[in-house]
Chain A
Amino acid sequence: MTQKIAAINDFVVLFANINGSGSASANNLFAKAVFRLGVPVSAKNIFPSNIQGLPTWFEVRINEKGYLGRREGYDFIVATNGQTLVKDYNELESGGYFFYDSSRRLPDHLQRNDISEIGIPLTTICNENYSDPRLRQIFKNIIYVGALAYLFDMEFSVFEESIQSQFAKKAKLIAPNIEALKLGYDYAQEHYQDACELKIKRCDLNKDKIMIEGNTATGLGAVYAGVTVAGWYPITPSTSVIEAFEKYCRQLRVDEKTGKNKFAIVQAEDELAAIGIVIGAAWNGARSFTATSGPGVSLMSEFLGLAYFAEIPVFLADIQRSGPSTGMPTRTQQSDVLSAAYASHGDTKHVLLFPATPKECFDMTVKGMDLVERLQTPVIMLSDLDLGMNTHLCEKIQWDENYVYDRGKVLDYNDLEAKKERWGRYLDVDDDGIPYRTIPGTHPEKGAFFTRGSSHDEYAVYTEDGQVYAQGMQRLLKKWETAKTLVPPAEFSSDTENNTLGIIYYGTSTYAGREADDLLQKQGIHLDEMRIKAFPFGAEVAEFMHNHETIFIIEQNRDAQMKTLLVNEFQLDPKNLIPVLNIDGMPITAQYIADEIQKHFKTKQTLKAVL
């Protein structure tokens, strides 16, 4: 028999479940317990486009070094789904542990002598202890969590506390849940003492951290940013953004005296209407937003062009999923970079933000609302399914009480009253490409104008004068230059050593990108790191691009879309930019990136040798 994998605070557990069986909350209970033990953890839900019955997996990576990206290879598999049992069994790492429901024997053909089998009769224990079939199902999940607590040597009290806080409002559920945990714990203790050499040991690495989904943080960010109007249409994986917005609005935005809402959420008939609602509200002076995914961005494109050309502040969160078309709707990707950057016909380009953590989802939503009003243009925040729908460990979210919203250049009644010269909606008086706007209903005589997507002069009057049109389009480019100075700058690794090699990542590729850089360093490959946080690219991005001979770009799409954007914006030689791409719908891993980069050097060496 192969040696058992032995590790403390550094291994991956896979839960194989059936969708809709209540496993998600049990699995989260486990992940949260790891978090509460002070050990960095990341949890990824790999789910089907289905409500009930199809296979679903939940990966938990426990890593004391704080690497939170996905890692390939499962050290421990909790197999509760008969449909995938064989696949799961075969996927286990050599030396790993196969945990299964031993109420039924494993099929005879499952024969591996390089792994440890841990059979716990979950169904039998449930049947003996519960008569209600629904409780049997739910507690089966809790029982395996209890067994894991024993096997990984985790403090049982942490689970008790989790259960107590989870069911604080349904106190009568506390005792039976703890009871179920104990059933699993005791069985494992009795039958599998010293069977498992994977351990989770308490440390103190999660101080001031939280575990939260990116979408929850985005919705919360919109509340803090003062968004009052949301138009939306349900689409995975963005729906939970609006759900979170609504939840926190109901918690924090209901007028105490009247019981009335200081927000308006309109579920629209489609994504076209959703963005139309956002545009109408923004035009009328309210902060408004929507959340969607790739198909929604396609549908919103015409309106985005209007908002760009008529200069209306629109904030959109695009929670990317695998495309094209319906693609793999419940799998992650970073494949909307180009369609978002250049959404709509004609010459258009849009400000993009790339959050990598839930905290950044919050911060960038707040910042994004300032940017749209300052720049009077659409801003699209490109999150993705991995960031949006999985809980991520991150710094806690903070609010600076001195922070004041930047509502941009808006003329109020007094401004208009004091104006002697003729006001022009599209006049660039400050030479930054950003004109002043007025909100309907402000002044009886001054400030009214006609907003249109057709060509207009500086006074918003329809024109077909080509020169006037061209001047307006050029001014929008000047505004684009201003945008470069306002968006969040790129981030660089602290140990930048002026290497000739660079590595670029953004959004959720950040986790694996950083880890890959560490892996490569051990192999003697030194890369300067840059994390892109926004488009348009600032001067710092230009500098990095020009200071490195070869740059690897880590992306989760097929066509290296960020590379295209960089090549296009900076007129770079594409040969010097080497994309490292993953498109299988699973979050990219560090090992994959490191292998790909090493392969690149090997090929280069081979080529040199041959030549």
Chain B
Amino acid sequence: MSYIKSTFRHPSAKVNAIGFSKRDYEGALSTLCAGCGHDSISAAIIQSYFEMNIEPHKIAKISGIGCSSKTPTYFLGKAHGFNSVHGRMPSVSTGANMANRNLQYIGVSGDGDTASIGMGQFAHVVRRNLNMIYLVMNNGCYGLTKGQDSATADIGSAGKKGVENQFAAIDLCQLALQLGAGYVARSFSGDKKQLIPLIKGAIEHQGFAFIDVISPCVTFNNVPTSTKGYEYVRDHLDATGTIDFVPERQELKIIHPEGTSKEVKLHDGSKLVLKKNKHHYDLASKREAMNVIESVREEKKILTGLIYLHEDPKDTHTKINSVDTPLNALSQKDLCPGSEALNAINAVFR
């Protein structure tokens, strides 16, 4: 394991449209196990924000507790981060978002952090349609406490200790769908090609965007008997279709033969291009999405890709009708009603 991160910058390193190099999107050196799926996801996050030309300091990264929740240290070093308490990333994100609607919010959580201790908070942040990305690094086990099963472990799956899990698995994508998430995707940490466009789509999505990323735990849950190990996941992937993200104003470079791809336009004119395959269905239909997840599961496969997309323009701020100016930018003059108004209130209590 390396312990020093080089600060060297190649003078000819490519910069993005707003003049930042990829280095500007990186963070501290990871302290996770070598080969951890989470590090690949961090890399995909870095790549996505870099290519999306978003100023790093205009992003806030928030997490709970666990291996996954450590990762925000390892990307976007120029952005403020908040490693909160176990399972409570959604409420901290909600408060942060209420205070400043102009930042971009990425919440990182794990399967223990979301599907067990933070289940309640997860459910309610989805209901609120908070404008954020909620990314779960899902390895089916508790890494930091050495490999106990989590609530997303499949029945019959066995980790390093070799004990088969007896309890029903929670499918976070299905939950998110049921609770009203507008953007639901699943991916695999080993499939950057799929993950990056999904993160980009999530960045562009207005409202709550959920991505469940299967991310094998190389230390405790990467054995052939585990349904969340590299081997099993690679052998059982079943995508909704190859996906590509095309930003606004950029011409479509990848040309699919007519009728073989489907475009989904996002609010600003960007497009998600999805190559049609056997799972061709209406992405805006919750019922069909549920159906596809279930039928793929029956085939003992894991459905990945963009599963559902339906932009609901009413995010939390719209629902509560808050002003366009970030609340944290309002001054005392904007907020304090003054003594005259107070005298009138006193009169009511006379």
Contact B98 A264 (CB under 8 A): yes
CB-defined interface of A428-468 with B at 8 Å, one 1/0 digit per residue?
00000000001111111100111111100000001000000
Within 8 Å CB of B90, what residues of A? 273, 276
Q: How far is the CA of A587 from the CA of B97 in the complex (A)?
A: 41
Say whether B237 faces chain A, with CB atoms less than 8 Å apart: no
Is A223 an interface position by the 8 A CB rule? yes
- Contact in complex: B62, A280 (CB < 8 Å): yes
Contact A284 B96 (CB under 8 A): yes
List residues 268-284 of chain A with CB under 8 A from any CB of chain B.
268-270, 272-284
Q: Residues of A contacting B123 with CB < 8 Å?
A: 269
Contact code string B325-350 (vs A, CB < 8 Å = 1, else 0): 00110101011111101100110011
Proximity string of chain A (542-573) to chain B, C-beta cutoff 8 Å, 1 when within and 0 when not? 00000000000000000000000000000000
Report the nearest B residue to A305, measured CB to CB.
Answer: B85
Instruction: Give Cα A212–Cα B345 distance, bound, in whole angstroms.
Output: 10
- Chain A interface size, under 10 / 10 to 19 / 20 to 34 / 35 or more: 35 or more
Check B77 for interface membership: any CB of A closer than 8 A. yes
Q: Does A293 contact B (CB under 8 A)?
A: no
> How many CB-defined contacts (below 8 Å) exist between A and B?
223
A303 touches B85 (CB 8 A): yes
Q: Do A273 and B79 have beta carbons less than 8 Å apart? A: no
Could you tell me which residues of chain B, from 65 to 120, have a CB within 8 Å of some CB in chain A? 72-73, 77-85, 88, 90-100, 102-103, 120
Chain A residues whose CB sits within 8 angstroms of the CB of B91 once the complex forms? 231, 268, 272-277, 279-280
The answer to whether A448 touches B324, judged by C-beta atoms less than 8 angstroms apart, is no
Interface size on B, residues (CB 8 A): 59
Among residues of B, the one whose C-beta sits closest to the C-beta of A230 is B98
The interface bits of chain A over 399-411 (1 if a CB of B lies within 8 angstroms of the residue's CB, else 0) are 1110011000000
Which residues on A sit within 8 Å (CB–CB) of B128? 266
The DSSP consensus for interface residues of chain B is helix
User: CB of A260 within 8 A of chain B?
Assistant: yes
Interface: B219 (CB within 8 A): no
Query: Is A7 interfacial (CB-CB < 8 Å)?
Result: no
B295 within 8 A of A: no
Given contacts A226-B336, A228-B335, A448-B57, contact A272 B327 (CB under 8 A): no
Q: In the complex, are the beta carbons of A286 and B100 less than 8 A apart?
A: yes
Which of chain A's residues has its CB closest to B91's CB?
A276
A440 CB contacts on chain B under 8 angstroms: 57, 60, 79-80, 96, 100, 103
Q: Does any Cβ of A come within 8 Å of B300's Cβ?
A: no
Give the interface of A toward B (CB within 8 A). 36, 210-212, 220, 223-226, 228-229, 231, 248, 252-253, 255, 258-266, 268-270, 272-286, 288, 302-303, 306, 396-401, 404-405, 438-445, 448-454, 462
For the complex of A and B, the 10 pairs showing the least CB-CB separation, nearest first, are A280-B95, A276-B91, A286-B99, A440-B80, A284-B99, A281-B95, A277-B95, A210-B349, A285-B328, A280-B92
17 contacts between A and B (CB under 8 A): A36-B350, A210-B346, A212-B349, A229-B327, A231-B94, A261-B321, A262-B322, A266-B320, A268-B124, A273-B121, A276-B95, A280-B99, A283-B96, A288-B95, A303-B88, A444-B57, A448-B81
